[in-house]
Amino acid sequence: MFLLSPIIASFYLSFTEYDILRKPIWIGLDNYRLLIKDPIFWQSLKITFIYAAITLPLSVIIGISLAVMLNQKLAGISVYRTCFYLPSIIPLVASSIIWLWIFRGDEGGLLNHFLSKLNIHGPLWFSDPKWALIALIIMSLWSSGNSVLIYLAGLQDIPESLYEAADIDGASFWQKLFLITIPMLSPTIFFNVVIGIISVFQYFVPAYVMTAGGPQYSTTFYSLYAYQNAFEDFKLGYASSMAWILFVIVMAFTWIAFKGFASKVHYQGK
């Protein structure tokens, strides 16, 4: 009732003109034709693809690196693990407001104040189309605690005997990393990549709270533009067609991930 019914309704509404106040009017493929001619639609798609292409690989690299560091047997390591995970449990709206203060364009902003101490004039971040998207990418990497936690669980599942045998053979840290850790961690990496594909294409809250898509549509993500069409302009049919295009895009990239990487995933016992 609460999952399948809205899916079916949105599919029907994508072929209609609907503004909540009046009954849906069937218009066939007109919404999809209008989307093809909509420059903001293509801009939102471009921004989302750029964000995904940068954020997804960086989140994997940073997540694995942090997990390897947090997997060390050191005194007080649980405190560090908690610190790295904390950003993930802070509500997105609250953390977005904090980052608004960090990225303030004048020296009252925390980041620009720090840069001024290094004699570097910081940019206007969210007021500059060249820097607004970069600021959101930096913020997204800050809250990578969920993936780090999953990588850490995967690391602790790797048999210690493999590292002991490598030490006897005189393997270096990098040899153990690329020949043992990453291959044995490949199921976890694959899982996080698939979840990451789904999440990056639905990026919404920070952009909505911090920039509302500006300046000059430089942070108008696909989901944000769909929301604006649905709940600000009340073009529900138009927004529904955008939702189904997004569904097809996410399914296509997920299928590519399964076809391209599933065969390279190493499962213990196989």
**Domain definitions of the chain by residue range:** 1-19+48-89+144-201+243-270
In the three-class reduction of DSSP (H, G, I as helix; E, B as strand; rest coil), residue 269 is classed as coil
User: CB under 8 Å to 178, separation ≥6 — which residues?
Assistant: none
Query: In this predicted structure, what is the pLDDT of residue 72?
Result: 85
pTM here? 0.91
Query: Exposed, middle or buried by CB within 10 Å (0-12, 13-18, 19+), for 190?
Result: middle
Average pLDDT in the chain: 91
Residues 86-108 have a mean pLDDT of 87
Query: In this predicted structure, what is the pLDDT of residue 268?
Result: 63
Structure confidence by residue, pLDDT tens digits, 11-27: 999 999 999 889 999 99
Cβ atoms < 10 Å from Cβ of 11: 14
Query: In this predicted structure, what is the pLDDT of residue 105?
Result: 79
**72 or 221, greater pLDDT:** 221
Query: In this predicted structure, what is the pLDDT of residue 73?
Result: 82
Cβ atoms < 10 Å from Cβ of 263: 7
Q: If pLDDT is split at 50, 70 and 90, which confidence band does 84 have?
A: confident
Query: In this predicted structure, what is the pLDDT of residue 107?
Result: 65
Structure confidence by residue, pLDDT tens digits, 197-226: 999 999 999 999 999 998 999 999 999 999
Query: In this predicted structure, what is the pLDDT of residue 202?
Result: 93
Calculate what percentage of the chain has a pLDDT beyond 90: 64
Q: If pLDDT is split at 50, 70 and 90, which confidence band does 270 have?
A: low
Structure confidence by residue, pLDDT tens digits, 220-254: 999 999 999 999 999 999 999 999 999 999 999 99
Whether the predicted pLDDT of 175 surpasses 70: yes
Query: In this predicted structure, what is the pLDDT of residue 269?
Result: 56
Measured CA to CA, the distance from residue 88 to residue 208 in angstroms comes to 18
Strands, E, within the chain: which ranges? 16-17, 25-26
Closest C-alpha among 133, 147, 148 to residue 206: 133
User: Between helices 77-89 and 145-156, what is the axis angle to 10°?
Assistant: 140
Structure confidence by residue, pLDDT tens digits, 104-151: 877 678 888 888 888 888 888 998 999 999 999 999 988 888 889 999
Measured CA to CA, the distance from residue 137 to residue 59 in angstroms comes to 10
